[in-house]
Amino acid sequence: MKLICSKANLVQGVNIVLKAVPSKTTMSILECILIDATTNEIKFTANDMELGIETKVEGEIISKGTVAIDAKIFSEIVRKLPDNEVSIETDENYRTTITCEKAVFTIAGKSGEDFSYLPVIEKNKFIYLSQFTLKEVIRQTIFSISDSDTNKLMTGELFEVTGNELKVVSLDGHRISIRKIELKDSFDDIKVVVPGKTLNEISKILSGGTEDEVRIFFTSNHIVFEFDSTVVVSRLIEGEYFKINQMLSSDYETKVSINKKEFLNCIDRATLLVKEGDKKPIIINITDGDLELKITSVVGTMNENIDIQKDGKDIMIGFNPRFLIDALKVIDDEEVSIYLVNPKAPCFIKDEEEKYVYLILPVNFNAI
């Protein structure tokens, strides 16, 4: 096999598939990137058996073939080559020579026959949306998945399609994030749980263009994302997702309208007094026209008042400041509405159409 590609194309291809190379594995072949030039296209593939990524790389095929190369070594070499044309050539023993200007590397490769290609997926159920929309939906929900494996379902996000609506849900036991997106067409009903790791990696690869489309295919075990010259295949998380609707309520005793940026900056300032690992709550006291925000820690105290519009009862309630910051950061509205019932019930930050809903459980600040 012999190929000629620009360094820029190589780096782009390697960076995309590198996200599916496992950091630890007992199968050394999975630590490789497969370079496949058996057809008229150059394809790079990586697969950790949970997540697989294949992308096409522009270049010239001088002679066809395949080789599996250690991903870590190959990516380091490619990154540090001069910005010029790169030749990749393998012999019958898969020894691979990488040449760029006066730099010549020769490294051991492996037969591509042992490599786990991406599974062939039936493409019956699907949706399509813009890369920008998918990237935004992930950004606005991914922060509230759990990073603990004690409940596998919490490490993923629910993707639920009903007619022309996509609903994406994540939760970690302390908060819930919900985003609803209107799709351009109506599709078959779908309900799957997608691993958070997959969505994190997808969001890094997506260009995020409003005109660039991504097609998402669903089966009972896999989800496939196709966009640009890249295909991402991921296993789904098995199991019945939590009954979210039972946790949501439209009842409230207090409604607050507040400037989002002002509120976010105020909480951000308060966290200056919280050492990492400390679980100090932020205490919010809501009265007519005024929200007082207080925090007390070993470092010191802080309180600040913000003008608000309030409907309903006065309330004093405590929260983990990080949870409020995470939700407020991803809301694009200038003003947000917060709905509260009592100091022990969840608060909801949502818009009128409920295109976004953020549920946050309060903290019992009297006991701290």
Contact 80, 54 (CB under 8 A): no
More confident residue, 123 or 350: 350
% of the chain residues with pLDDT over 90: 87
- pLDDT in the model for residue 366: 66
Q: Which has the closest alpha carbon to 322: 274, 356, 287, 366?
A: 274
Mean local confidence (pLDDT), 256-263 = 98
Residue 59 has pLDDT above 80, yes or no: yes
Going by C-beta distance under 8 Å and a sequence separation of 6 or more, which residues neighbour residue 295? 270, 271, 273, 274, 280, 281, 282, 283, 301, 302, 303, 321
- pLDDT in the model for residue 145: 97
pLDDT classification of 367: cutoffs 50, 70, 90: very low
Residue 255 has pLDDT above 70, yes or no: yes
Give the dihedral sign, CA 306/348/336/326.
Answer: positive
Mean local confidence (pLDDT), 16-38 = 93
- pLDDT in the model for residue 368: 40
H or E element in which residue 321 lies: helix 321-329
- pLDDT in the model for residue 249: 87
Mean pLDDT lowest among 21-30, 54-63, 322-331: 21-30
CA dihedral 284, 288, 290, 293 (to 10 degrees): -10
Q: What secondary structure letter does DSSP report for 279? A: -
- pLDDT in the model for residue 237: 97
- pLDDT in the model for residue 23: 86
Give the dihedral sign, CA 260/261/262/263.
Answer: positive
3-state SS, residue 220: coil
Note the pLDDT tens digit of each residue in 156-183.
999 999 999 999 999 999 999 999 999 9
Mean local confidence (pLDDT), 37-51 = 95
Q: What is the distance between the alpha carbons of residues 50 and 54, in angstroms, rounded to a whole number?
A: 14
Mean local confidence (pLDDT), 18-23 = 94
Summary mean pLDDT of the chain: 95
- pLDDT in the model for residue 57: 98
Mean pLDDT lowest among 29-33, 113-117, 309-313: 113-117
* Reported pTM: 0.93
Domains and CATH numbers, the chain: 2-114 (3.10.150.10), 125-245 (3.10.150.10), 248-367 (3.10.150.10)
